[in-house]
Structures are given as C-alpha cells and as structure tokens.
A and B are shown apart, each in its own frame.
Chain A
Amino acid sequence: MLNGLNIEGTTPLHRMSVRMKLAILLVCGLALYAMSSFFVLVPAFVIAAIIYFTTGLAFREAVSRLKPILFTILILLIATAYLTSIHAAAESFFRLMAIVLFAGAVTATTATGAFIDEITRLLQPLDKLGLVRAADVGLAFGLVLRFVPDIFNHYQSIREAHRARGLKVRPLTILAPLIILTLKDADTIAMAIDARGFRRPRERRR
C-alpha cells in the first residue's frame, strides 16, 4: 500500500550517500534562489531535467509525478507574469523546475530505509544531549507503516456498516468512529512494545 517512490538502479546518484545528496540539494536550492541570470538558471534546469529523466524512472511515471506540482507552478506563474513581468515569471519557472526536478531525482534514487538510517544518524547529537531518542524515530516510522493498512481496513468496515444501514458515507460520520477505533488500541500497542523491551529506559540522571 505504501511503496516508496524510489526505484532500484546503479546511476551515480543511486550510489551517492544520502547525506551528500541532501546537502547538494540544499546548497543548489539556496544558490539558485540567489541567482537571477538566465545563463545560470536555464542550464541548471536542463541539467536537472537530464538527471531526473535518467534515474531509470519510466517516462510516463516520471511525467505523472510532475503533473500536480507543475500545475501549481504554472497557475502561480501565469498570475506573476500578468501582475509583474514575464521576465520575472520565466526566471521563477526555470529556478523552481530545476529544484523540483532535482528533488524528484533524489527521491527517485534513495531507498526509504536509507533515508530512515540517515535521519537516525543525523539525530545522534540530539540523542546525546537527551533531547530526542533517535531510535524512537525509526520505531515511529515502523508503527505508521505497520498500521496504515489496518486503519484502512477500519475505514472500509465503517463504510460497509454505513452501506448496510442505507446511510450516506460522509466524512463526519466516518471520522469519529475511525479515530476512536484506532486510538483505542494505543494502550495495548504501547504495552506490547514495552513488554518486548524495544525502548531502552533512559539512564537515570545522578
């Protein structure tokens, strides 16, 4: 139900470390906002497009992922072109598309597990300070992925219950039972986690 948006492959981007990719994305993003010359923005856009379309993503899939965001960008930039200048709108278009395409390429070439490992590693300093428990993040990810199908089943049975009684399926009559039904399990799940000792107890401060 929740497959990652990444695809397997052996391109240089696939082999690069997650931290490196995120750092490049961040630096490129910030650098592009500082630029306003077409001599930089257009090549950046072309390079990002080449990287995005060579990640091994099927062309149709690659295009369909871009559609919703392209739609928003175009609507906003048509307004911008009308209200300010076509030049400014074109600038924003190339800059935004370059960033969006590169971000899409990072997403397409990074496995979910690798991301979670990297997040856990990045949180280590905070963990040492006692602010966050880095291991909790991985546990929380696991819980979400584990329970989405269950909650979807709850939703389907509530919908069936509506149909069986000839009621219209409305958000209002779905939400309350769905939320109560789901959160009611929290205690049992928490007890099961503690019983298995998944979370090490924090060392007592002296």
Chain B
Amino acid sequence: MTTRDLVLIALFTAIIVVLGLIPPVTLGFIPVPITAQSMGVMLAGCIIGAKRGALAYVLLVLLVAIGLPVLSGGRGGLAIIQGPTGGFVLGWIVATFVTGLIAERLVKEGQSEVRQFAGFFIASVIGGIGVLYAIGMPWVTAVTGTPLSAVATGSLAFIPGDIVKAVIATLAARAVLAGYPLLHARA
C-alpha cells in the first residue's frame, strides 16, 4: 500500500466522522431524519473503491472500539459493537467492499453520464442496503432473540430513506468522479 492510499483511507475515515457532526436533515416525505454519516458506506465504496473503502471502515470501527465518539450523536465505545446493532457496524466494512467492487466493475471513466449514474446506484443499493441488512438483521436476531421476520418488517421503515441516500450518494460519487477521479486510480 502506498502512502497516498494510506492517506486517502485516513482522510475518508475523517470525512465519515465529520459527516456525523453535521446536523441530520428531514426530507418532507420521510419520517426518519437522514444523517449524512449513514451515506458513508455508499460514498466510500463508490469514491475510493472496494479495498480502500473497506479499510477506511476498518479504521472507523477501530476508532469506535477504542472509545472515540466518532458516530453521529457522539456515540462510540465497545458497547456499540457488542450491542444489538453491532452487526450493522461490522457490516459496514463488508458492505463498503461490495459497493466498491460493483462500482469498480460497472462504472468506467468516459462512459455516458447515465451509465455512470446507473452503475453507482446499483452498487449503492446492493452493497449499501442489501449486504448491510443481510449482515445486520440476523445479528439483531442472534443477539436479542427477536424473530428475523419481525426485524425485517421493522427494517422496512428505513428502506425509503435508504433509497434516497443511495440517490444522493450516486449523484455525489458521480460529481467526485468527474471532478477528482479516484475509483480506478491505483498509485
């Protein structure tokens, strides 16, 4: 790993931390306020790619584990990882990797804008929503004993917000690709 990759990873982790400091916004038609931090998985995968994105999240999870309040609302500490939603926290790493993997395959520089949008959106939805819930929900069931069907039903409330996040992440990732392409750049 080059020093540049290391710096990109650390800077992206820092960006995710800062996104947690930004006050959440409510969109008119969705009841749950959207925290910018929860878009981090999609952004990291689509912008710095699978390997570096996943490592940025390894770093973030380590920061949480060592007790720094890096998550939105000043949360942090081992209790977050050991608690019922710990699967989502650890799932971020895999979800970012998958998002990045798909984005790297589907999106190429010089493609038409529409194809790039489509590629980032598919990557964000499969990685940032599909994979994340596939890891997070069984974990909740394992830890609390809540039946998986109930956890899945409850999670449905978050899906519209997640789709909106995927759209925002897609637009932002495409803007970054146009302005400062990093997805395919390996130093």
Question: In whole Å, how far is A189's beta carbon from the nearest beta carbon of chain B?
Answer: 5
Chain B residue numbers with a CB within 8 Å of A77 are 144, 146
Tell me the B80-96 residues at the A interface (CB within 8 Å). Answer: 80-85
Specify which of A89, A144, A176 is in contact with B172 (CB 8 Å cutoff). A176
Tell me the A24-79 residues at the B interface (CB within 8 Å). Answer: 25, 29, 65-66, 68-69, 72-73, 76-77, 79
A144 to B10, CA, bound (A): 5
| Residues of B that sit less than 8 Å from A by CB | 1-4, 6-15, 17-18, 21-22, 25, 34, 36, 39, 43, 47-48, 59, 62-63, 65-70, 73, 75-85, 140, 143-147, 150-151, 154, 168, 171-172, 175-176, 179-180, 182
| A95 to B, closest residue via Cβ | B143
Contact A143 B7 (CB under 8 A): yes
Contact A76 B84 (CB under 8 A): yes
Question: In whole Å, how far is B59's beta carbon from the nearest beta carbon of chain A?
Answer: 6
Tell me the A175-189 residues at the B interface (CB within 8 Å). Answer: 175-176, 178-180, 182-187, 189
Interface mask (A143-180 → B, CB under 8 Å = 1, otherwise 0):
11001100110010000000000000011101110111
Most B CB contacts (10 A, CB to CB) among A76, A108, A136, A178 go to A76
Specify which of A65, A101, A147, A194 is in contact with B14 (CB 8 Å cutoff). A147
Contact A183 B182 (CB under 8 A): yes
Most A CB contacts (10 A, CB to CB) among B15, B63, B75 go to B15
Interface mask (A115-127 → B, CB under 8 Å = 1, otherwise 0):
1100100000000
- Contact of A183 with B146 at beta-carbon distance under 8 Å, contacts A73-B83, A140-B59 already known: no
A-B contact pairs, 11 of them (CB 8 A): A84-B145, A96-B83, A119-B62, A140-B13, A151-B15, A152-B21, A171-B25, A172-B168, A175-B43, A176-B175, A186-B11
Contact B68 A5 (CB under 8 A): yes
Is A112 located at the chain interface by the 8 A CB criterion? yes
Additional A-B contacts beyond A96-B83, A112-B68, A116-B66 (13; CB < 8 A) = A5-B69, A100-B82, A103-B77, A107-B67, A107-B77, A136-B6, A144-B13, A175-B39, A180-B175, A182-B14, A189-B11, A190-B6, A190-B7
Contact B3 A194 (CB under 8 A): yes
Contact A76 B146 (CB under 8 A): yes
Interface size on A, residues (CB 8 A): 70
Question: In whole Å, how far is B4's beta carbon from the nearest beta carbon of chain A?
Answer: 4
Question: In whole Å, how far is B160's beta carbon from the nearest beta carbon of chain A?
Answer: 16
Chain A residue numbers with a CB within 8 Å of B7 are 143, 186, 189-190, 193
Question: In whole Å, how far is B62's beta carbon from the nearest beta carbon of chain A?
Answer: 7
Question: In whole Å, how far is B34's beta carbon from the nearest beta carbon of chain A?
Answer: 7
Chain A residue numbers with a CB within 8 Å of B62 are 119, 137, 141
Which 6 residue pairs of A and B lie closest in terms of their CB atoms, listed nearest first?
Answer: A143-B10, A115-B66, A107-B77, A176-B175, A103-B78, A175-B172
Chain B residue numbers with a CB within 8 Å of A83 are 146-147, 150
Chain A residue numbers with a CB within 8 Å of B47 are 179, 183
Specify which of B2, B14, B63 is in contact with A190 (CB 8 Å cutoff). B2
Most A CB contacts (10 A, CB to CB) among B12, B48, B83 go to B83
Contact A92 B144 (CB under 8 A): yes
Contact A4 B6 (CB under 8 A): no
Contact B4 A190 (CB under 8 A): yes
Is A23 located at the chain interface by the 8 A CB criterion? no
